[in-house]
Amino acid sequence: MADKLKLFISAEEIDALNTKLAASIQSDYEKILKPGETLLVVVTLKGAAFFATDLLKKMKLPVLMDFVRLSSYGSGTKSSGTVHIVKDMESSPTDQHILILDEIVDSGRTLAFLKERIRAGGPKSVKLCSLLNKPSRREVPVEVDYLGRDVEDKFLVGYGLDKAELYRNLPAVYYIE
């Protein structure tokens, strides 16, 4: 049966959330970054790709971009609990100010793992920004420094979020009925 998609967060609301997040990140890092320092933004593929490009265009900070792809799933759909690195960062986190970008925090496993791994590399700072957050699903505590908004426990697609790799390119967020 075809999926029935219901609008959950409109493109306009996403844009407003991004504007607020960008302003807050901009004002903090204007104080944190010393002259000549850059902000290394680590984007979690594939989901955060749409969020990252929209968000970063709203900032005027000296930004470097890197990408990681992590998976906490084997071939099935149930989380194995172990996070695997499918694609690692290309730059070293050592002595960098790092901002991790994700589109949604669910169990928290992926981001807790990534934050810890980056921390072990000796960065100057590590913070986390997520557009969405499902607090009711949390299994591992993870501090989200910049959050767009909380959402209920619904399966969401669009704006980077997928169901079996489909729907990522929808401009708004939908839930599947």
Provide the phi-psi class of 54: left if phi over 0, else alpha when psi is between -120 and 50, else beta: alpha
Cα–Cα distance between 41 and 49 in angstroms, integer?
12
Which residue among 9, 21, 47, 156 contacts Mg ion (CB under 5 A)? 47
Cα–Cα distance between 146 and 126 in angstroms, integer?
12
| Residue with token string 């490009």 | 53
Closest CA to 133 of 120, 143, 121, 119: 143
Q: Work out whether 115 is an interface residue with ligand IMP (CB under 6 A).
A: no
CB closer to ligand IMP, 11 vs 45: 45
Q: Work out whether 107 is an interface residue with ligand IMP (CB under 6 A).
A: yes
Which residue among 19, 38, 92, 155 contacts ligand IMP (CB under 6 A)? 155
Burial letters for 91-113: b for 16+ Cβ neighbours within 10 Å, e otherwise?
Answer: eebeebbbbbbbbbbbbbbbbbb
What is the nearest approach in angstroms of ligand IMP to the Cβ of residue 49?
A: 11
CB closer to ligand IMP, 79 vs 125: 79
- In DSSP terms, 161 is beta-bridged to 158
Q: Work out whether 148 is an interface residue with ligand IMP (CB under 6 A).
A: no
Which residue among 102, 115, 127, 159 contacts ligand IMP (CB under 6 A)? 102
Binding range to Mg ion, per CB under 5 A, among 46-54, 114-122, 133-141, 149-157: 46-54
Q: How many residues bind Mg ion (CB under 5 A)?
A: 3
What is the nearest approach in angstroms of ligand IMP to the Cβ of residue 25?
A: 19
**Cα-based distances in Å from 167 to 16, 42, 45, 123, 159:** 22, 23, 15, 35, 8
> Is 106 annotated as catalytic?
yes
Q: Report the catalytic residues.
A: 106
Tell me which residues touch ligand IMP (CB under 6 A): 44, 47, 72, 102-111, 155-156, 161-162
